[in-house]
A = this chain, B = another copy of it.
């Protein structure tokens, strides 16, 4: 498989990269420069603010990004900004009549490469520039699809695109963490339904990643070895919570699942990031991703809304021997017709209530297969 990249700069300065695998040349530009039509009507009502504010009570950064408030909200399919440009007089985000996989800078980002310096503040508060990169990853030119329904070859290519993005963004000096994720479903606030994921290149270690690394470091100090390897061994020996497995990856509902239908997809060998995965391990990742995604699509006959997030090696230049590459799915339903909400106990106390038994949810997912 041979990956080709063709990078352009949009009129507003954002980059866009066409990824091509089928040996085709980069698609012809249908918009030869010039200013594309704005995706929203009229100018922003006020100049946006983008900055990081320190939360002294929880010791973490909060991202303030007010331009996001104006982001495009569930447009009709014929105005989808993520489809290829069919009518050159009304270009979408992708100025080409077709594409394979595309990555571009988010028009409504949480971080930007040229983030302004924030107004100063005083202790116990602190502010910092929201420096970083927010990318959108288009999985396919087809508007109505899901990642699981796409051919395995497309999922496999996406793995290589993620890997390429991880490598490129990791090399930026301000980037401490490359966070690859997908929010799927209107129920989770997705504002564009075209199949796509996102990448946030953080200027700091996100709090959840920091806590996970600290826990793994304590485990190594007290019990020895990698915590994720120990979890994997436990799940593989008990078997009751396994969902699917191949040579390279194991998918399970963890004993400690905070959400019903939560699935962790963990590398069977101790690998720290996408960069460490061999081509065969990447085949395995793509294969098991597709398997799990199809289960989420078919369990109830409609695509289950979820968050899919990847945890891997920070890119802050420090050593993190406890990192173990894995993907976590956080579905939003507690049953076919009921959403799981994060309410007072989860947000105000930080304690998750799981109304279901992980062993039962794993069994349901084990048996969920496409009906033919």
Q: Which residues of A are in contact with B by a Cβ distance under 8 Å?
A: 49, 53-66, 68-69, 73, 110, 121-125, 177, 179, 181-183, 188-190, 198, 200, 202, 206-212, 215-216, 218-219, 223, 227-228, 230-231, 234, 255-258, 307-309, 311, 328, 330, 334-335, 338-345, 347-358
Contact at A343–B183, with CB atoms within 8 Å? yes
With contacts A56-B215, A200-B345, A348-B307 known, is A66 near B183, CB below 8 A? no
Contact at B347–A330, with CB atoms within 8 Å? yes
A216 — which chain B residues lie within 8 A by C-beta?
Answer: 57
Shortest beta-carbon distance, A251 to chain B, in Å?
Answer: 16
Contact at B182–A234, with CB atoms within 8 Å? no
Within 8 Å by CB of A223, from B49, B61, B124, B227, lies: B124
A206 — which chain B residues lie within 8 A by C-beta?
Answer: 345, 349-351
Contact at B208–A63, with CB atoms within 8 Å? no
Task: List the 5 closest pairs (A to B, CB-CB), nearest first.
Answer: A189-B341, A208-B350, A309-B348, A206-B349, A207-B350
Residue among A49, A61, A64, A189 facing the most chain B CB atoms (10 A cut-off): A64
* Chain B residue at minimal CB-CB distance from A307: B344
With contacts A73-B338, A328-B348, A344-B181 known, is A219 near B357, CB below 8 A? no
A340 — which chain B residues lie within 8 A by C-beta?
Answer: 189
Query: Bound complex: CA of A353 vs CA of B53, how far in Å?
Result: 10
With contacts A53-B255, A54-B256, A58-B212 known, is A357 near B64, CB below 8 A? yes
